[in-house]
Amino acid sequence: MNPATSRRNFLAAGLALPAAASATRSSGSGQTQSSSPAHSSSPALQFKVLGKTGMRVTTVGMGCMITSDATVVTRAADMGINYFDTSRNYTNGQNERMVGAALGARRKNIFLASKCDRTDGASILQELDTSLKELGTDYLDVWHLHGKSSPQQISDDMVEAQMKAKQAGKVRFIGVSCHQNLPAIVDRCIEAKMDVVQAQYSFAQDASWTPAVEKLAQAGIGVIAMKVMARAGGRGRGQQAPPKPPNYGAAALRWAIKNPNIGTTVPSMTDQDQLQENFTAMAAPFSDADSKLLVARLEEIRPYYCRTCGQCDGQCRKGLPVPQMVRFVMYADGYGQFALGRQNFQTLAQEHQDVRCSDCATCAVQCPHGVQVAQQLARAQELFA
């Protein structure tokens, strides 16, 4: 069993409600409405059209996954942000309920997106019905297949289910969200006639992802950028990176917005303060100061920020499993789990444990993104061998 697939099933499982909450259509004309009328005159708000959907979306949307309080969602809608993103699996389904309650009657003024996690057509249609009940609406503006990173994961069965939902009026537009390997799924998204793609996209991935984003846009597919802060210096991957400088978030956000092929962004917003910061960032253009800040930041995180592209694999003349060894160092240095790093190192073949990088005059392994691989390998040997 594919563990990732099973996990997505897991996250979706058991979340169907025993009693249906009342689902009311908030906007009978919403199915054909292509823009949100609210707040369109505010100078702070910047809009783009999201590909062939015709939806006129604020360039800063709202990622609701870790929002701490419903009032943040409510205020964002009142400020005029008009694109809201959640998922069936966030906090075991509680996030959709919070978002639905927070939006209330404001639902008719905004575009609402959610995602499904299971892996067959019939099951995702069940998920959709639960999403609609929890969100207190009877249609989604965008409905994504969640977290796809290979064409095979975007099965005909699921695409057909998305089309059925569209024909039934339960969703206006269909999409795919992608955390990894965006270039691999571009052709499949075009072939499957997706309306939108939501992809991890930040200044740190410019070279890797920008051509894919451009290709999607050329096909009329609206592109939504997520994880625009490059996941460095915060949670998850990149925890060993230096702390983020002031104004970093706004600069990273504006970097994504300035790409004409990006329709909107969905940065996670925890609190009112972050909402205000992101809202303010929307109005200002990407500046030289932003550029300098991000260039400096990229240099800071370059030695740490593994983009999981896999291009270093197989490059070592001694046959070292480079990606794994870099990861073991991260366990020790990044997370303070020396024992875990060493334990993993000791699972390597003895011939690999015995390799010393100092025996090579030069290192054949080159990270295309600038991660200091040779130093990381030597560090692994220093720590664990």
- Judge whether 235 and 270 are in contact, CB under 8 Å: no
Q: Among 20, 339, 349, 364, which residue interacts with other proteins (rule: CB under 8 A)? A: 339
Number of residues that bind other proteins (CB under 8 A): 74
340 binds other proteins (CB under 8 A): yes
CB of 7: closest distance to other proteins in angstroms? 5
What letters, b where the CB count within 10 A reaches 16 and e where it falls short, cover 159-170?
A: bebbeebbeeeb
274 binds other proteins (CB under 8 A): yes
Site map (CB under 8 A) of other proteins, residues 281-320, x = contact: ---------------------------xxxx-x-------
For residue 264, CA distances in Å to 121, 130, 149 come to 28, 26, 21
- Judge whether 72 and 271 are in contact, CB under 8 Å: yes
CB of 287: closest distance to other proteins in angstroms? 25
Q: Within positions 154 to 193, which residues make up the interface with other proteins, using CB under 8 A?
A: 177, 179-181, 184
Strand partners, 265: 60, 225
- Judge whether 86 and 99 are in contact, CB under 8 Å: yes
- For other proteins, give the closer residue by CB, 184 or 378: 184
Q: Within positions 221 to 240, which residues make up the interface with other proteins, using CB under 8 A?
A: 226, 235-237, 239
For residue 253, CA distances in Å to 3, 86, 113, 265 come to 33, 19, 20, 8
Length of the chain: 385
Q: Within positions 66 to 105, which residues make up the interface with other proteins, using CB under 8 A?
A: 66-69, 71-72, 74-75, 87, 89-95
CB of 286: closest distance to other proteins in angstroms? 25
Strand partners, 140: 171
Q: Among 1, 24, 29, 359, which residue interacts with other proteins (rule: CB under 8 A)? A: 1
The CA distance from 340 to 89, in Å, is 29
- Applying CB under 8 A, which part among 15-23, 168-176, 212-220, 364-372 lies near other proteins? 15-23
Angle of CA points 178, 369, 363, to nearest 5°: 135
The CA distance from 244 to 336, in Å, is 20
CB of 114: closest distance to other proteins in angstroms? 12
Q: Among 35, 155, 247, 270, which residue interacts with other proteins (rule: CB under 8 A)? A: 270
- For other proteins, give the closer residue by CB, 56 or 348: 348
334 binds other proteins (CB under 8 A): yes
- Applying CB under 8 A, which part among 62-70, 215-223, 242-250, 361-369 lies near other proteins? 62-70
Helices (H), 44-168: 70-79, 94-103, 121-135, 156-167
The CA distance from 53 to 38, in Å, is 18
Where are the extended beta strands (E) located within 108-243?
Answer: 111-116, 140-145, 171-178, 196-200, 222-226
Q: Among 182, 331, 355, 373, which residue interacts with other proteins (rule: CB under 8 A)? A: 331
CB of 237: closest distance to other proteins in angstroms? 6
- Applying CB under 8 A, which part among 36-44, 290-298, 340-348, 366-374 lies near other proteins? 340-348
33 binds other proteins (CB under 8 A): no
Tokens 């249906």 label which residue?
A: 20
The CA distance from 305 to 298, in Å, is 9
Q: Within positions 36 to 55, which residues make up the interface with other proteins, using CB under 8 A?
A: none
CB of 67: closest distance to other proteins in angstroms? 8
129 binds other proteins (CB under 8 A): no
Q: Within positions 342 to 381, which residues make up the interface with other proteins, using CB under 8 A?
A: 343-344, 347
Q: Within positions 239 to 258, which residues make up the interface with other proteins, using CB under 8 A?
A: 239
